[in-house]
Structure 1
Amino acid sequence: MRRSKWTSAFLCTALAGFMLAACSNSDNAGNGGAATTEPSTDADQGEAVESGPATAGLPISQGDLTLKFFIDLDSKVGATMKSYNEIAAFQEMEKRTGIHIDFQHPPVGQTTDQLNLMRASNSLPDIVFYNWPSIPGGAAKAIADKSILKLNDLVDKYAPNFKKILETNEEVRKMATLNDGTIYMFPVLWIDPAVRVNYGFQIRKDWLDKLGLKVPETIDEWYTTLKAFREKDPNGNGDPTDEIPFVSSAGDFRNFSGAWGINASTGFYQQDGKIKYSAMEPAYKDFLETMAKWYKEGLIDPEYASTDGKMKDSKITSDKGGAFIGSLSANMGRYLGLAQPNIEGFDLIGAPAPIGPAGKPYTNTNNFIKSVPGPGAAISMNNKHPEETVKWLDYLYGPEGIKLINWGIEGESYVMKDGKPQFTDIVTHNPDGLPMDQAVTRYALPHVAMPTVRVKDANWAITTTLPQQIDAVGTWEQSDTSLLLPLISPDEKDSARLASIMNEVQTYEDEMINKIVMGIEPVSKYEEGVETLKRMGIEEAIGIMQDALDQYNQKK
């Protein structure tokens, strides 16, 4: 059983009442006192240390300013509320800053469509939270189109907290800016590496125990394990055919590709500073051949192409699924909570990234190395109060703002114990019976994407409370991350061209993968597929990504 270097100090308290923060070695959220100096960075923990101008210039407005903020309604919030306006942290922030935020949440699944419509009609609200590097042309195109503002001068004048982070953290500065140094958003920040390792392979431990199997570490061991799940009736219901050894929604099974030293999940990866595209590498054919074999033998969910999140949940919690890939909270924690009362012995354990022909446990999860995972809050060109908006956003990167968004309201959602914040029973043992990840959202968002610094103690107190979760982090952090790419941004023209090429490439590749894995086409069709990708411009796309990576590496 592996123990994370970040988890050893937490295990005892996680088992004794969710008091993770109480025995932490650092105060990641801070003291919230009347500090007078600007924030610095703690090299050991990677969190913003609370020494910033927390209350300087408050209130920002006298209560007569409303800003419109476009952002997805996170499902954990949406389970009990209709808007982020109902969250106590934002209500308190309005009292402190004098600015009212009118949160505008698009319908589920319609975020991109609504954003495109608003850009086309020049009707963007004041603040727009989105994954800006993902749009055609990237953030540079959005600035050139006069959709969002270039923020360098505004940050320099009105954002001392965020500015200090950019000045003192090279990794954040490189990921959060364009190649020419343009600042275009206030990003989600995962400065502490401990909050990034939250996703990986998971497997039914009780099934392993019943069949006398160990946690698989290699592709061959995975095959043996999944084969046993398929043939030996581990759920014990007398039907040896109803188990689904590996439950996969869409392309989940592509995460096995790391065993071949490629990344079929994201396509692009790096090897010794050189950009590669997985489908163009010979190892990709071997990976497809193995997945086709597994699929034919019933080891991969036969419905993977149509399985959505709800179907995946059902297959795991109905005692059918044996293994899957997912997150610590939304999958492992939730499944344990849902299934254990109904399925005797139900248990999950994190499994390491499998080792295969490439010889190392390569992970495909890019977020493991990203202090800036991607999304952030941009200010639209329609904003009539950019100075006040920047001040409001910057508050979220100062000590009091970080503490407010991560912990909520002192005396209600948390109390101070031995100088450190600790969630109260209203979060950890909610009187309305809400699970912790929903209960906390009435006060704070330590596990939801927001433009602020994510605090380890608060995040782990919600997402990593169970020993299974803590062990999983210790396992997943052993993965080799050398194939992963940081958040890189091609230039405006290149980004638009890249999007054009990859839209066609990815559509074709998805079809090719499904046909080969499902046995509709033979694996020998792979070479033909490579030639098709070349005609579509994949080699040009690789060149664009190489230029972007080179520019990223050369950033000062």
Structure 2
Amino acid sequence: MVKKMRVLTSTAVVASLMVALLAACGGKEESPNTANPSPGTGTEVKEAAYPKSLTYWVSLNPNAAVTMKSYNEIAAYKELEKVTGTKVEFQHPPTGQEKDQFNLMLASGKLPDVIEYGWNAAPKGADSLIKEKRIIRLNELIEKNAPNLTKVLKDNPEFRKMITTDEGNIYVMPFLLGDPLLSSVNGPALRKDWLDKLNLQVPKTIADWEKVLTAFRDGDPNGNNKKDEIPYTYTINPENETDMNHLFVGAWGITADFFQENGKVKYGPIEPQYKEFLTTMNKWYKEGLIDRDYATTDGKLKDAKVTGSQVGSFSAYAGSGIGRYTTLAQPNNPNFALVGAPYPVLKEGDKALGQYTLPFTGLGAAISATAKNPEEIVKWLDYKYGQEGHMLFNFGIEGQSYKLDNGYPKYTDTILNNPDKLPITQAMAKYFIASWSGPIVQDKRYIEQYFTMPEQRDAQKAWMGADHSKVMPPITLTADESSKTASIMNDVKTYRDEMVNKFIMGSEPLANYDKFVQTIKSMGIDEAIKARQAALDRYNNRK
């Protein structure tokens, strides 16, 4: 698990406001031993020279796109313009075309001043992009012109290690999760009303799950006198490796992708435990415990199945899953209730792998090599890491989107009970960016209030108990490693996803699993593992 972050000390002004990310409800002042960073002072940047104008490329978040065409319309950015005098021309790529537009932009060399992106998805690593004069190294610029971020990195060396490349370059003003509470946000969820009706407990082991799913299949928990319940439906998402964040496969101590074990990189689908996982999933599928149509169930159909009392369990986010489904279903079914379950293990006392997002995942704002005033841009970006900027971009406008209650910034009904009936995330998007990302330190008090239901908060606590020690840190492949292994992994993932579904559904006998492993090896997986091992070794040697 990522080591807990040390709190950043600050000035008397900051102490009076107490916006440290682990502030307790009720606004009590933190002790120096609390384990999260607060923003910098914000006082130094007030006297800094800000750019008069800049161009800023960034994806338009879907929650913002509902009510606006540009981030210029976000209240926090409006206020930032008032404070700094900087006029920003936001450039938003068309929705769904972000990756292609990003690659075309880099290839053309016609770059905006600031590029905000998930740089781990860039075709080349940051070191290569710096050498090719697409973006610039920020180390010295941050030290000289970004006192707030400098303090965050000084007091949290693990942050600095994560945002620094193997060659020692800091390349973005980063998006950082300021508390472990922000790192575990999804996991297994079940119909609590079904469990209660059948006198069942929340499952903890794979055997418990099989018992519960069987009861869901046979016990008519939806009460319509039909055997039409779907005990569990898979979530097929290429970004989350077959199913969301290691649910079930994590019980065998592996993932469906790369993971590390005692410093050694492994690829889950070729490990012996993966066959055991597939054997169990195949058994459940044959017995009708898994949705027979999971492979063709899109988001809308899944929504209909869940809210229509067909599905008994699934992977869920606390917000868009537990919260949204409860809100959608209860008007027609007041008894509808969901409960988060811990990630399952093979036997009690074990620790399963589960979802965990590292404090830095490559998201951040880089400055292009063609920007004429990088010093001023760094100072402008640094405002968000200071006291005022932190509050502004995590909570919005005091008196409008939040009010201080004994030092604790509480969202108003403008956010939590929006008069225009906007969902919380869309209401948030009109005022600040904490509900997605950006060059800020995300405050845990945002998520404490976003999860308005006790069952959301309880689910998060259950999910946080998973083992995170095998999560791969934010390694960076060299240009050579990336070019050699990119096509390998494209082929491997396509083949893996196709075969996993066949194994689960029984169209491919599990007797052919060894052939499956050999095929993946013939595609070059050992070279891909070797590249990631070298990258992990370099990461572990970073200062």
Q: TM-score, normalised by structure 1?
A: 0.88
Distance 1:377 1:346, change over 3 A: same
Residue number among 407, 416, 426 corresponding to 2:404 in the alignment: 416
Distance 1:115 1:58, change over 3 A: same
- 1:341 aligned onto 2:331: yes
Instruction: Indicate the residue corresponding to 1:525 in structure 2.
Output: 512
Counterpart-to-counterpart distance in 2, 1:42 and 1:54: 23
Residue number among 444, 461, 467 corresponding to 2:449 in the alignment: 461
- Structure 2: 5+ residue stretches without partners: 1-22
How far has the Cα of 1:74 moved from its partner? 1.7
- 1:161 aligned onto 2:131: no
Counterpart code for 1:252: D
How far has the Cα of 1:314 moved from its partner? 2.5
Residue number among 30, 46, 59 corresponding to 1:56 in the alignment: 46
Instruction: Indicate the residue corresponding to 1:200 in structure 2.
Output: 187
- Kept in 2, the 8 Å contact 1:318–1:339? The answer is yes
Counterpart code for 2:252: W
Distance 1:187 1:53, change over 3 A: same
Distance 1:136 1:334, change over 3 A: same
How far has the Cα of 1:158 moved from its partner? 1.5
**More off after superposition, 391-400 vs 156-165:** 156-165
Instruction: Indicate the residue corresponding to 2:249 in structure 1.
Output: 257
- Kept in 2, the 8 Å contact 1:362–1:483? The answer is no
Residue number among 435, 440, 458 corresponding to 1:452 in the alignment: 440
Equivalent position SS for 1:82: coil
Instruction: Indicate the residue corresponding to 2:366 in structure 1.
Output: 378
- Kept in 1, the 8 Å contact 2:392–2:432? The answer is yes
Counterpart code for 2:403: V
Distance 1:493 1:168, change over 3 A: farther
* 1:258-281 superposed Cα distances (whole Å, 9 cap, x missing partner): 1111011xx111111211110121
Counterpart-to-counterpart distance in 2, 1:316 and 1:128: 39
- Kept in 1, the 8 Å contact 2:233–2:294? The answer is no
Aligned-residue RMSD, C-alpha: 2.1
Q: TM-score, normalised by structure 2?
A: 0.90
Equivalent position SS for 1:48: coil
Pairs within 5 Å for 1:177-192: 177-192=164-179
Instruction: Indicate the residue corresponding to 1:327 in structure 2.
Output: 317
Counterpart code for 1:255: L
In the alignment of these two chains, the number of paired residues is: 516
How far has the Cα of 1:125 moved from its partner? 2.1
How far has the Cα of 1:316 moved from its partner? 1.5
- Kept in 2, the 8 Å contact 1:58–1:96? The answer is no
Instruction: Indicate the residue corresponding to 1:219 in structure 2.
Output: 206
State the percentage of identical aligned residues: 46
Distance 1:468 1:45, change over 3 A: same
Distance 1:529 1:163, change over 3 A: same
Instruction: Indicate the residue corresponding to 2:219 in structure 1.
Output: 232
Counterpart code for 1:333: G
Instruction: Indicate the residue corresponding to 1:280 in structure 2.
Output: 270
Counterpart-to-counterpart distance in 2, 1:363 and 1:24: 34
How far has the Cα of 1:49 moved from its partner? 4.3
Counterpart code for 1:323: S
Counterpart-to-counterpart distance in 2, 1:124 and 1:312: 40
- Kept in 1, the 8 Å contact 2:162–2:474? The answer is yes
* 1:455-491 superposed Cα distances (whole Å, 9 cap, x missing partner): 11123212x2210011112211211212212212223
Residue number among 510, 514, 517 corresponding to 2:501 in the alignment: 514
Counterpart code for 1:194: L
**More off after superposition, 480-489 vs 354-363:** 354-363
- Structure 1: 5+ residue stretches without partners: 1-19, 28-40
* 1:258-312 superposed Cα distances (whole Å, 9 cap, x missing partner): 1111011xx1111112111101211111111111122222222223223333332
Distance 1:298 1:73, change over 3 A: farther
Counterpart-to-counterpart distance in 1, 2:464 and 2:83: 39
- 1:548 aligned onto 2:535: yes
How far has the Cα of 1:256 moved from its partner? 1.1
**More off after superposition, 287-296 vs 243-252:** 243-252
Instruction: Indicate the residue corresponding to 2:55 in structure 1.
Output: 68
